[in-house]
Amino acid sequence: MNKKISSLLLACMLSLAVLVGCGNNAPAPAENTTEPATTETATTETESQETTEVADEAVTEETTEEETQAEPTGEATEIVFWHAMGGGQGEALEKLVAQFEESNPNIKVNLQNQGNYGDLNQILVATMQSPSDLPTITQAYPDWMLQFMDAGLVTDLSPYVNEGFDDYEDILPGVRDEIEMDGKITALPFNKSTEVFWYNKTLFDELGLDVPTSYEELEEVSKAIYEAKGIPGVGFDSLSNYYATYLHNNGHEMDANLDVAGDESVEAVSYYHNGIRDGYFRIAGTDQYMSGPFANEQVGAYIGSNAGEVYVRDGVDGKFEYAAAPYPADASVQQGTNIYMFENATDAQKQAAFDFMNFLLSKESQIQFAIDTGYMPARTSAVEADEYKNSESAIAPILADATAKLFSRPLAPGSQQAYNDVGSVLEQILSNPDADTMSELEAFKPQYESDFAQ
């Protein structure tokens, strides 16, 4: 019997003696048993028997080089990401995920499209009753996540940001305001946009019009287009955004303290309604979005999301030269979703998810995603990068100015419902040139107040 076989037999005898002596009092494994089997520390049952009962005791000096070369025992840490990105936006996200996984083979990002935003919100709310079934991270609007925060289900990202995030201050200030709450960083930004002034440059040059920089100038330009061409000069894509932004630029917020029948609110609605009555303003109405009427030369300009450029470009299709300019007021609203992390994830999954979020928010990823989708970069360095500014986008050259003073809508329970209801009542008022603005807002006041009382 050779030396190697003798050593193996001795090892087995020693192991058997240890097992008999210890009985059922063997120490528990050092690893956390709640960790999933996909972590790098997990081993198969066969591997555990071979390494803990034999190799650790007697054969370490006698094994051959082939026997000491252990096979990898772990798999990539998997994180689940729920999102609502479809079409080209979804393809842009998939491209970034592929790049991340190539550089991080120890992390697997399981992308799960949940449909549109409404579908995603519904499945999140439904799954809230079984927190263990929530994903690792999700795309979401901040209003959706208030109840999850109240239930302690959302991870505070502050420790991760403080220890491993690349220049947090580089995130646009107006965007940072939305993701910070009660001294915590609740999320990191994802697909972000603001509103800009889209205009028919050919028409503006013909009429010798300057791009407006205030509501007063906007009204003057709109009247000039109407008088010269017989079409409305300007329309606003989102009536809720118009209302909130007009109020904000006049020192008021669309929050629970606002009197929607008060002077400030009446002024905001009357500004738009007067233009509807006199023909120089219009709303999207049955067109749903202003990019259609704009491309068909039924309106000279409109205010809408910078992310709508693809619709403007495809609709105009060379019929005239179009351009974009910053919102014609001091501040513009920032909008879009963020990425939130849930507490049900393991420590390994949380770290992997944060590494992925950090990658998505890197300067390079932000530039790529912005060029691929039309969303705006959320980093100042990306907005100001030549690679972005020199892209074919009409937005890129003006975005630094357009994002100089972003604001976020006040976040509170009921704020999203109030925002939706404001849009509906403005649609009702602005669809009727003869509407009595004061009476309509007085009738709306109880509904608005009840939205925040929920």
For 74-90, write each residue's pLDDT tens digit: 689 999 999 999 999 99
pLDDT at 132: 95
Whether residue 350 is predicted with pLDDT greater than 60 in this model: the reply is yes
382-422 pLDDT tens trace:
999 999 999 989 999 999 999 999 999 998 999 999 999 99
pLDDT at 453: 83
Q: Which 3 state secondary structure label does DSSP give 429?
A: helix
Taken in order 345, 351, 354, 356, the sign of the CA dihedral is negative
127-186 pLDDT tens trace:
999 999 999 999 999 999 999 999 999 999 999 999 988 899 999 999 999 999 999 999
3-state helix vs strand vs coil in the chain, percent to 5:
50, 15, 35
Whether residue 2 is predicted with pLDDT greater than 50 in this model: the reply is no
Measured CA distances, 87 to 84, 174, 308, 447 (Å): 10, 28, 14, 37
Q: Residue 5 contacts by C-beta under 8 Å, 6 or more apart in sequence? A: none
Phi, psi of 321 (to 5 degrees): -90, 130
First to last CA, the chain: 83
d(CA 423, CA 443): 15
Whether residue 319 is predicted with pLDDT greater than 90 in this model: the reply is yes
399-410 pLDDT tens trace:
999 999 999 999
215, 220, 221, 226: CA torsion to nearest 10: 130
pLDDT at 74: 61
d(CA 365, CA 191): 12
Closest CA to 82 of 93, 70, 71, 74: 93
Query: H or E stretch including 415?
Result: helix 415-430
Q: Which of 34-38, 199-203, 448-452 has the lowest mean pLDDT?
A: 34-38
Whether residue 336 is predicted with pLDDT greater than 60 in this model: the reply is yes
Whether residue 227 is predicted with pLDDT greater than 90 in this model: the reply is yes
Residues in the chain: 454
Whether residue 424 is predicted with pLDDT greater than 70 in this model: the reply is yes
Measured CA distances, 43 to 48, 60, 280, 346, 352 (Å): 6, 19, 72, 18, 20
Q: Which 3 state secondary structure label does DSSP give 290?
A: coil
**Number of other CB atoms surrounding residue 436 within 10 Å:** 12
Closest CA to 371 of 387, 357, 384: 387
Q: Could you tell me the pLDDT band of residue 431, with boundaries at 50, 70 and 90? A: very high
Taken in order 124, 127, 129, 131, the sign of the CA dihedral is negative
Q: Residue 402 contacts by C-beta under 8 Å, 6 or more apart in sequence? A: 194, 196, 306, 325, 326, 327, 332, 395
Radius of gyration of the chain (CA): 29
Whether residue 23 is predicted with pLDDT greater than 50 in this model: the reply is no
Q: Over pLDDT 90: what percentage of the chain?
A: 81
Whether residue 451 is predicted with pLDDT greater than 90 in this model: the reply is yes
d(CA 234, CA 223): 9
Whether residue 38 is predicted with pLDDT greater than 60 in this model: the reply is no
d(CA 60, CA 56): 7
Strands 406-407 and 301-305, bridge-based pairing: unpaired
Whether residue 434 is predicted with pLDDT greater than 80 in this model: the reply is yes
d(CA 79, CA 63): 38
Which is more confident, 359 or 31?
A: 359
Q: Which 3 state secondary structure label does DSSP give 385?
A: coil
Q: Could you tell me the pLDDT band of residue 454, with boundaries at 50, 70 and 90? A: low
d(CA 15, CA 11): 6
Q: Residue 20 contacts by C-beta under 8 Å, 6 or more apart in sequence? A: none
For all residues of the chain together, what is the average pLDDT?
Answer: 86
Q: Could you tell me the pLDDT band of residue 209, with boundaries at 50, 70 and 90? A: very high
Kindly report the pTM of this predicted structure: 0.81
Whether residue 29 is predicted with pLDDT greater than 70 in this model: the reply is no
Taken in order 288, 118, 374, 421, the sign of the CA dihedral is positive
